[in-house]
């Protein structure tokens, strides 16, 4: 097999890393260093770069906790990122090189959260095959509710009634660049009241990120007579519009605010996207399903894809020694 070299990312690699992200077949803006580093104080970054001599051929956004490396805990998905020029045998070689590098520096385990297939620009499941070959352990599986916008999708009767309520109540959807109304009046109070938690992104953080990625991070609010009653934050990548945050005030059912909002987004704003990703409805590391939330998403025409989480012993790199015939 061909020899590759691996080294951790350094600040001097900023431009090289980001250029590679723009060219990879399974990357989104979440892997841009400006996105990854908004929370760098919370994680010990241990992102890796794989080279064929001087040429960068793959990257692994990651962080380190003791003797374990994670495909970055601050990101929704991750794993090995590479271009469509890499064939399956090469990806196996590259992954073996990464595992061997980690094993040689006393990293015993790497945990990988797979990029859902809808985010691939082209079919990109070489890593899944590699994980099978190294006896990776599946320790979590989430279900994502996804709409294929290239197909005809019919709203169920309940969602249609909600949309009609929104029309009757004179609701207005506006795209905003100011996140404070939604964060302070809707999202934060709801999360505190219902789940005793806070948004993953603080208001200042989402404002910084939106300023860096104005085409990718978009805020849509719903108003009743100029008063905000609901909203959603969308992370938009090449093929997918993903609902990062969804929240509304207590009279959402009477107003039809969320039904009206999402019908507008699916038909008017993101109709030219390939997929709309409502995200997960799971709790307890994928072991439980919030059926009410999942049903609401499916009522728009969503169906299920999965996102897997794997644990790999780095010493298992030897299992790839005799794979290629």
Residues 171, 162: contact at Cβ < 8 Å? Answer: no
Domains detected in the chain: 5-141+308-320 (3.40.630.30), 151-273 (3.40.630.30)
Q: For residues 56 and 71, what is the distance between their CA atoms, to the nearest angstrom?
A: 18
Q: What are phi and psi of 304, to 5 degrees?
A: -105, 135
Mean pLDDT of the chain: 96
Q: For residues 194 and 191, what is the distance between their CA atoms, to the nearest angstrom?
A: 5
Question: Cα–chain-centroid distance for residue 220?
Answer: 19
Beta bridge partners of 138: 310
Residues 112, 78: contact at Cβ < 8 Å? Answer: yes
Can you give the pLDDT at residue 173?
98
* Structural tokens at position 3: 């020899």
Q: Tell me the pLDDT tens digit for each residue of 162-177.
A: 999 999 999 999 999 9
pTM of the model: 0.94
Q: Tell me the pLDDT tens digit for each residue of 43-79.
A: 999 999 999 999 999 999 999 999 999 999 999 999 9
Q: Residue 67 contacts by C-beta under 8 Å, 6 or more apart in sequence?
A: 106, 107, 108, 109
Question: Cα–chain-centroid distance for residue 218?
Answer: 15
Q: Tell me the pLDDT tens digit for each residue of 90-107.
A: 999 999 999 999 999 999
pLDDT above 70 for 1:
no
């Amino acid at each position: 097999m061909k020899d590759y070299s691996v080294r951790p990312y350094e600040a001097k690699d900023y431009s090289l890393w980001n250029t590679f992200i723009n060219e990879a077949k399974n990357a989104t803006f979440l892997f841009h260093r400006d996105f990854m580093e908004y929370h760098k104080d919370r994680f010990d970054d241990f992102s890796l770069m794989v080279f064929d001599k001087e040429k960068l051929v793959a990257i692994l956004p990651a962080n380190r906790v003791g003797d374990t490396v994670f495909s970055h805990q601050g990101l929704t998905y991750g794993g090995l990122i590479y271009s469509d020029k890499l064939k399956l045998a090469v990806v196996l070689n590259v992954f073996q090189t990464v595992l061997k590098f980690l094993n040689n520096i006393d990293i015993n385990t790497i945990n990988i959260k797979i990029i859902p297939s809808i985010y691939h620009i082209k079919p990109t499941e070489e890593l899944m095959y590699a994980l099978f070959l190294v006896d990776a352990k599946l320790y979590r599986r989430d279900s994502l509710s996804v709409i294929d916008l290239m197909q005809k999708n019919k709203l169920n009767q309940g969602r249609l009634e909600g949309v009609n309520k929104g029309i009757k109540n004179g609701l207005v959807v506006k795209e905003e660049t100011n996140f404070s109304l939604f964060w302070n009046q809707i999202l934060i109070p709801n999360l505190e009241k219902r789940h005793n938690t806070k948004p993953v992104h603080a208001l200042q953080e989402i404002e910084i990120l939106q300023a860096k990625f104005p085409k990718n991070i978009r805020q849509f609010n719903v108003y009743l007579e100029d008063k905000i009653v609901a909203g959603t934050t969308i992370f938009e990548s090449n093929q997918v519009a993903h609902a990062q945050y969804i929240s509304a005030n207590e009279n959402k059912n009477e107003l039809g605010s969320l039904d009206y909002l999402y019908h507008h987004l699916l038909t008017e704003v993101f109709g030219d996207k390939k997929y709309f990703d409502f995200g997960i409805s799971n709790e307890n590391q994928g072991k439980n399903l919030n059926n009410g939330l999942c049903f609401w998403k499916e009522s728009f025409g969503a169906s299920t894809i999965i996102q897997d989480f794997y644990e790999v012993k780095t010493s298992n790199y030897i299992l790839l020694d005799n794979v290629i015939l």
